[in-house]
Structure 1
Amino acid sequence: MPQPAPPDSLGNPTPPYAMAMALPDAVTPRQGLVVDGGPNARLPVDLARCRRILVVRLDFIGDWVLTTPFLANLRASAPDAEITVVVLNRVFDLARSCAFVDRVIGVEPAAAGPVSFYAADQATLASFIADYGNYLFDLALVPRWDTDFNSALRIADGSGAATVIGFSEANTAHRRANNRGDDRFYSAILRDTEAMHEVDHKLGLLAAMGGTTEQRDLTLHLDPADKRRAAEFLVKRLGGADRFIAIAPFAVPRKQVPPERSAVLANRLSETLDLPVVVVGSPVHAPNAAAFLSELKGPAASAVGLPLGASAALIGRASMLIGMDSGPAHIAAALNTPVAVIFNHARSAAPDHVGSPERFAPWGEPSRVLVLRPDEPLAPCTDGCEVDAAHCITQLDVDDLYPPIADFAARFVAVRDPVFS
């Protein structure tokens, strides 16, 4: 099954310690109990009795951020358990500081053969390998509602956990096609076909396990070293400025406003707000960032290439962030940075589509999140944008984006002219 891995939206250094383990290629059949979602759903789990819980979350930066309410409530529901989370290496630098879990382990997805696990230090890696290799986990959770592209079920199965819980293959058409037959490898699965935000899906899974769902806010714990690195960047590149616009103009092509438009937008906002601009992105965006920076007329700096944790800390210090449907927008919302995020998914398109803001809008205080999107999809798109290039999003020009973003910014940033419309 192909892994839909977009270019990294921020930098992510590989964890320094690794160990390979052989896993069976065949996944173990289990009971496969299907439980229908809803307020009366009940999965056969006693969280209070669990002593070792494994959470396998093999997705991208934004997905990790949207998982933090689930982890906060899991911690509250199983206060005596040791919780380990396995994430993709590309997310590790952000996940490693999470205070809701006891261990964070990185991995590269593998559908067959050995799997290499990664950690920040040898002791953490050794303790995980001992627990994993000796089948000491009581419970393994795969909290991905849609298609499992990255072999998360294989990692959960390899733990030998007494109980393996996840979402049903019946939840979406894509999952039915790509994960057909996987339900039988879980002890129990939640059949949840309702269209709602990803955070709500995950909290629904926890509620069905008898867990609390009181904590609904995103929480990102940042490493103090990352905060220092962000502060050092601002001193070196912007003379210590404590007010600036962050812009994350890069994403997969269909989710990306043409960069020449984003540069014009950044220039107009920078002039209006009298603020410098900081461009954030991954090292893979370095050539594009250099070209983008050359189009900016006011004070500006590129933070492209900063490690993921330091980039997150920098976003947390910004006066506001302008982003596409990608990880930086979710980080901004989690850190209470006002964020204007531009989606390619039209208002009239399907709310359960993988590109829909109904599922993936930044989850934060509504007054601090602005979602911009076209009204209608462009042919041949119907349910959502499916073209591998900038397509539906090209309907949004600078004159469509600037007025609402400027009005939004005026709530949080002192401006030269507070009237924009």
Structure 2
Amino acid sequence: MNRILLIRRDNIGDLICTTPLISNLRSHYPNAEIDILVNSYNYQAVEHNPDINHVYVYTKGKHRDAGQSLLGVYWQRIKLTLTLRRKHYDLAILASGAFSRHALKLAKSAKPKAILSPAPNGEEIDDITISVPEPKQPLHEVEKTLLLLQPLGISAQTHPLTLHPDPHEQAVLRAQLYEQPWHQHVPTIGIHISSRKPSQRWSEQHFSELIQQLHQQYQVQILLFWAPGDENNPLHPGDDQKAARIMAQLNQLPILPMPTTTLRQLIAGISLCDQFICSDGGAMHIAAGLGKPLVCFFGDSCAEQWHPWGVPHVLLQPDSRDVADISVMEVLRAYQQVLHLPPPHSPANALG
């Protein structure tokens, strides 16, 4: 097994959850060329992964840059396909917990000697050389991807997630923070206020109350993360207004804004935090990949499959499956629990 191509074309968290599979492959095949094909949306999550030889990037039509034509996107994909074919891969792995027809199409275009994939539901596909059945019991996404190693005779080890910040981006953000009232030796909590899914969105009033109480009770400083953009943008709504209102309400507290326009910036920013509080999503998996203790909110998503992997965390998911029903006091207790801190004040004192 001299050349292996991994394919993961989904979201940021999905790709980060694939890194234990990559670590296991590298341990078993220390001298193999292990490459990965990802998309322009998620590739920065693996660009510094030491277990990968080459990161190949393609652009989905919906992710193309302003001014970039759809024809140009497809032309670049054709050139990339020819590059991959010249590598003569021994194996392509559809590195996901579930079968993806789009990923299979990408694998076939590279013309590897064999394709390893999760089994499609009730369907036989001749192009798949080795298929791994869907597990009967519920598993985490990391565990699902590790099942793909069984046909290769690899006894998977439960490696942590692997994520490395870009050193230059990290240095730039640290320098920017030093220009503000940020102190390296004061505990820093990262709080991410954005989420794509409505059921995962906590209100700005809750965030404001939480930040106030965290500072009052634990003397911490806050890095406030959000997805930049106008909240009224129908295609890519952001949280500029929400962040501005939170900052205005708490302008006497040590809160430092951290809007991140790139995944590289987000990874570097979270790396500067000591703990992290957020909803389920890419930022949560980034924090887990960086080894940060977490408090996370789960709305209408599967906690069993997507909870933070390999780090101390407290997961809050109300029966309603809407994070709006999580109270500030619950989050304070969760923060205390995950770090073994003294308990917060009673609700009357904490929120009075």
TM-score normalised by length of structure 2: 0.83
Residue 140 (structure 1) shift: 0.8
Residue 219 (structure 1) shift: 1.7
Residue 218 (structure 1) shift: 1.4
State whether residues 407 and 420 of structure 1, in contact with CA within 8 Å, keep that contact through their aligned partners in structure 2: no
Residue 130 (structure 1) shift: 5.3
Residue 215 (structure 1) shift: 4.6
Distance 1:153 1:144 in 2: 11
1:360 counterpart residue number: 306
Structure 1: runs of 5 or more not aligned:
1-49, 119-124, 171-175, 346-354, 378-384, 386-391, 412-416
Residue 240 (structure 1) shift: 4.4
Secondary structure (helix, strand or coil) at the match of 2:42 reads helix
Choose the corresponding residue for 2:164, options 216, 221, 229.
221
2:191 counterpart residue number: 247
2:202 counterpart residue number: 257
State whether residues 333 and 363 of structure 1, in contact with CA within 8 Å, keep that contact through their aligned partners in structure 2: yes
Secondary structure (helix, strand or coil) at the match of 2:247 reads helix
1:134 counterpart residue number: 86
Secondary structure (helix, strand or coil) at the match of 1:363 reads coil
State whether residues 19 and 161 of structure 2, in contact with CA within 8 Å, keep that contact through their aligned partners in structure 1: yes
Residue 117 (structure 1) shift: 5.3
User: Which moved further from structure 2: 75-84 or 140-149?
Assistant: 140-149
User: Which moved further from structure 2: 104-113 or 256-265?
Assistant: 104-113
Question: Percent identical across equivalent pairs?
Answer: 22
- Aligned pair in 2 of structure 1 residues 116, 333: CA closer, same or farther (>3 Å)? farther
State whether residues 333 and 343 of structure 2, in contact with CA within 8 Å, keep that contact through their aligned partners in structure 1: no
CA deviations 1:281-328 (Å, max 9, x no partner) are 333435233233223351112111253223223212212110100112
1:275 partnered with 2:223: no
User: Which moved further from structure 2: 239-248 or 327-336?
Assistant: 239-248
Choose the corresponding residue for 2:293, options 325, 338, 351.
338
Choose the corresponding residue for 2:248, options 294, 319, 323.
294
- Aligned pair in 2 of structure 1 residues 273, 117: CA closer, same or farther (>3 Å)? farther
Secondary structure (helix, strand or coil) at the match of 1:58 reads coil
Distance 2:156 2:199 in 1: 34
State whether residues 83 and 102 of structure 1, in contact with CA within 8 Å, keep that contact through their aligned partners in structure 2: yes
User: Which moved further from structure 2: 262-271 or 182-191?
Assistant: 182-191
1:72 partnered with 2:23: yes
2:275 counterpart residue number: 320
1:206 partnered with 2:149: yes
State whether residues 40 and 60 of structure 2, in contact with CA within 8 Å, keep that contact through their aligned partners in structure 1: no
CA deviations 1:90-146 (Å, max 9, x no partner) are 21222111111101122223699864658xxxxxx98x6654143611111112123
Equivalence map 1:175-194=2 (5 Å): 181=123, 183-193=125-135, 194=137
Equivalence map 1:53-72=2 (5 Å): 53-72=4-23
1:5 counterpart residue number: none
Aligned residue pairs, count:
325
Residue 207 of structure 1 aligns to which amino acid in structure 2? Answer: Q
1:44 counterpart residue number: none
1:233 partnered with 2:179: no
Residue 419 (structure 1) shift: 5.2
1:52 counterpart residue number: 3
- Aligned pair in 2 of structure 1 residues 371, 158: CA closer, same or farther (>3 Å)? same
Structure 2: runs of 5 or more not aligned:
63-69, 230-237, 347-352
- Aligned pair in 2 of structure 1 residues 196, 137: CA closer, same or farther (>3 Å)? same
CA deviations 1:322-350 (Å, max 9, x no partner) are 010011221222222111011114xxxxx
Residue 198 (structure 1) shift: 0.8
Residue 71 (structure 1) shift: 0.5
Distance 1:301 1:327 in 2: 21
State whether residues 230 and 311 of structure 1, in contact with CA within 8 Å, keep that contact through their aligned partners in structure 2: no
State whether residues 54 and 140 of structure 1, in contact with CA within 8 Å, keep that contact through their aligned partners in structure 2: yes
Distance 1:419 1:157 in 2: 56
Distance 2:293 2:132 in 1: 34
1:307 partnered with 2:250: no
TM-score normalised by length of structure 1: 0.70
Residue 58 (structure 1) shift: 0.8
2:333 counterpart residue number: 403
C-alpha root-mean-square deviation of aligned residues, in Å? 2.8
Distance 1:344 1:195 in 2: 18
Residue 22 of structure 2 aligns to which amino acid in structure 1? Answer: L
